[in-house]
């Protein structure tokens, strides 16, 4: 089947040009200049046509399977709703983030439970049956401050196509939660702990890191290499953190918390990913470095929607105003995440690439998604 998208503002790698894009089957076949609309072509009426966006880190699926604390929603329904939401936001490839590493000690209020293996199996089954609109891959978020990480990681193998494994360490007093007042605000808001309960919570997690952290970190690095997954760090704060990441073979730094760490990543050839909500809100909700500051310093490579799928395109358009460069900004949600994840078949409007496409226009400074295509099929 041949599709022709005419009278479009095509967001190419180095420019925006009015033209027509032809699709043969599931691939981009040709790009032509000009505003003409041949018979049979789809008239995009001057809307933007861009590559489908690629999401490397999102908590959105977890939000759907647990819409409220203690509420476990049926997973098949949650996966379908998550898939439809992302398609509607212009995301055509997603690495679904799932936590591995739980707390199973008895009696703790709010303890976490293993869920990743079962959820991944359901997702893979739905992918094989063709029930999903967009491309779904796995991102395992390995929490080293836990008790069960090694056992949970061992449940995954090469057939699962795990694309990313991130090293996470949410021990209170360092990285994202080096400011304990921010952690207190977050935990007490979610779980209603009093001062004594919060102090016990902090002590429990710090003791757990002392008992398991180093062994879990080593096991996670080994598993990423064994599965051929991209290894990511999480919340690097110091240059020393980045040096450790580089020794492990980390290729992607998720949400460095300081300018120092981001600059060290840049110097080490580690790509930096920041949250689009940080850009949209004008800063980090945890009090860490702002995405805008990193963008202006030249230390931001990739955006993630994190916890707001619609924020990905909005964030890219904010970057386009900061840099005065729409193609560079769109690359942070298309070509750059594709390169970081080793997906060389998508993320650019070039002949031979997958026909993953999005159409949008602007309402003042807000992007309005119109249509999404995956492999040349409107979803």
DSSP string, 284-323: -TTS---HHHHHHHT---EEE-BT-TTHHHHHHHHHHHHH
The domain tally of the chain equals 2
Same domain flag for 6 and 134: no
Same domain flag for 161 and 222: yes
Residue 214 three-state SS: helix
- pLDDT 10s per residue in the chain (379 long)? 789 999 999 999 999 999 999 999 999 999 999 999 999 999 999 999 999 999 999 999 999 999 988 899 999 999 999 999 999 999 999 999 999 988 754 434 445 688 999 999 999 999 999 999 999 999 999 988 788 899 999 999 999 999 999 998 866 656 666 665 655 555 555 555 667 776 776 677 766 776 676 888 999 999 999 999 999 999 999 999 999 999 999 999 999 999 999 999 999 999 999 999 999 999 987 788 999 999 999 999 999 999 999 999 999 999 999 999 999 999 999 999 999 999 999 999 999 999 999 999 999 999 999 999 999 999 9
Same domain flag for 155 and 58: yes
Q: Is 159 exposed, middle or buried (0-12, 13-18, 19+ CB in 10 A)?
A: exposed
Same domain flag for 358 and 250: no
Return the pLDDT at 109: 45
Same domain flag for 40 and 80: no
Q: Residues 183-190: contacts with CB within 8 Å, 24+ apart?
A: 186/286, 190/69, 190/110
**If you search the block for the tokens 């005419």, which residue do you land on?**
6
249 neighbors 232 (Cβ within 8 angstroms): no
* 65, 66, 138, 140 from 75: Cα distances, Å: 6, 9, 16, 17
Same domain flag for 300 and 369: no
Same domain flag for 57 and 45: no
Same domain flag for 60 and 39: no
Q: Read off the pTM.
A: 0.90
**CATH code, domain carrying 296:** 3.20.20.140
Structural domain harbouring 373: 1-51+348-379
Same domain flag for 271 and 361: no
**C-alpha dihedral (173, 230, 357, 15), degrees to nearest 10:** 80
Which DSSP state fits 2? E
Return the pLDDT at 106: 42
Return the pLDDT at 191: 58
Structure tokens belonging to residue 73? 């929603």
Same domain flag for 109 and 41: no
Same domain flag for 212 and 305: yes
**CATH code, domain carrying 363:** 2.30.40.10
Same domain flag for 227 and 317: yes
């Amino acid at each position: 089947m041949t599709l022709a998208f005419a009278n479009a503002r095509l967001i190419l790698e180095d420019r925006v040009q009015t033209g027509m894009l032809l699709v043969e089957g599931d691939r981009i076949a040709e790009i032509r200049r000009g505003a003409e609309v041949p018979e049979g072509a789809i008239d995009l009426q001057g809307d933007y046509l861009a590559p489908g966006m690629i999401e490397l880190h999102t908590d959105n699926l977890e939000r759907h399977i647990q819409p409220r604390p203690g509420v476990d929603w049926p997973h098949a329904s949650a996966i379908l709703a998550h898939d439809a939401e992302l398609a509607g936001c212009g995301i055509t490839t997603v690495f679904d983030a799932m936590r591995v590493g739980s707390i199973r000690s008895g009696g703790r209020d709010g303890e976490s439970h293993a869920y990743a293996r079962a959820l991944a199996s359901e997702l893979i089954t739905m992918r094989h049956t063709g029930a999903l609109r967009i491309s779904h891959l796995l991102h395992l978020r390995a929490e080293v401050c836990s008790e069960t990480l090694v056992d949970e990681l061992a449940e995954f193998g090469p057939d699962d196509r795990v694309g990313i494994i991130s090293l996470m360490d949410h021990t209170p007093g360092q990285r994202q939660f080096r400011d304990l007042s921010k952690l207190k605000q977050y935990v007490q808001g979610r779980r209603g702990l009093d001062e004594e309960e919060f102090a016990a919570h902090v002590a429990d997690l710090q003791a757990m890191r002392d008992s398991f952290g180093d062994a879990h970190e080593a096991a996670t690095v080994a598993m990423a290499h064994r599965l051929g997954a991209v290894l990511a760090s999480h919340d690097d704060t110091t240059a020393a953190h980045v040096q450790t990441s580089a020794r492990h073979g980390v290729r992607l730094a998720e949400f460095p918390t300081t300018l120092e760490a981001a600059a060290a990543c840049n110097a080490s050839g580690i790509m930096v990913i920041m949250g689009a909500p940080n850009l949209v809100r004008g800063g980090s909700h945890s009090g860490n470095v702002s995405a805008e500051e990193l963008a202006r310093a030249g230390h931001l490579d990739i955006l993630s929607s994190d916890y707001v799928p619609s924020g990905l395109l909005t964030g890219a358009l904010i970057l386009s105003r900061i840099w005065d460069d729409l193609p560079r900004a769109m690359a942070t949600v298309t070509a750059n995440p594709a390169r970081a994840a080793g997906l060389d078949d998508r993320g650019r409007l070039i002949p031979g690439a997958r026909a993953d496409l999005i159409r949008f226009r602007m309402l003042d400074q807000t992007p309005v998604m119109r249509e999404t295509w995956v492999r040349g099929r409107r979803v």
